[in-house]
Amino acid sequence: MQVDSIKDGLVIDHVAAGKSMDIYHYLKLDDMDCVVAIIKNVRSQKLGRKDVLKIEDPVDIDLDVLGYIDPNITVNIVRNGVIVDKKKLSLPNEITNVVKCKNPRCVTSSENYLPQLFTLADAETRTYRCRYCEQKA
């Protein structure tokens, strides 16, 4: 299969196989007016199999969302057909409006205007807790 390179935009690489559609929806790429190529189950020496997303046109994405989904993802910024920056991700210390609190008694359930704030509680287990009620994400 041949997928052309992009002139300007982002290449989201080293995505765990099967996670590309999660990223597509988390980043709300379906709401944007940009060209997106999703390549699934690409052979990888490092991962065995991986997914890759290519987004043509410069777009502003939330790197914390990507770090929450998979901290091993790499984001390549492409300008004029050349990678000008490569960002390695890590687990963010805090995520906002990425997941919703599951606790029906949490203040965010009744006060919809409050942001959904979660703090990294344990990096080893990738556990996040609601800042308001301590419920696990």
Q: How confident is the model at residue 6 (pLDDT cuts 50, 70, 90)?
A: confident
Domain identity same for 79 and 99: no
| Distance between CA atoms of residues 56 and 58, nearest Å | 7
Domain identity same for 101 and 79: no
Task: State the total domains in the chain.
Answer: 2
Residue type, 29: L
Residue 2 included in any domain: no
**CA 68 to centroid of chain Cα atoms:** 7
Inter-CA distances, 131 with 5, 32, 99, 128, Å = 42, 30, 12, 9
E-only strand ranges, the chain? 9-16, 35-44, 48-56, 74-79, 82-88, 94-96, 117-122, 127-130
- Per-residue model confidence (pLDDT) at position 130: 97
The range of the structural domain enclosing residue 26 comes to 9-88
- According to DSSP, residue 30 is labeled G
Domain identity same for 36 and 80: yes
Domain identity same for 45 and 21: yes
Instruction: Report strand pairing: 74-79 vs 48-56.
Output: unpaired
Domain identity same for 77 and 105: no
- Per-residue model confidence (pLDDT) at position 46: 77
Question: DSSP readout, 66-83?
Answer: HHHH-TT-EEEEEETTEE
The tens digit of pLDDT for each residue in 76-123 reads 999 998 999 999 899 999 999 989 999 999 999 999 999 999 999 999
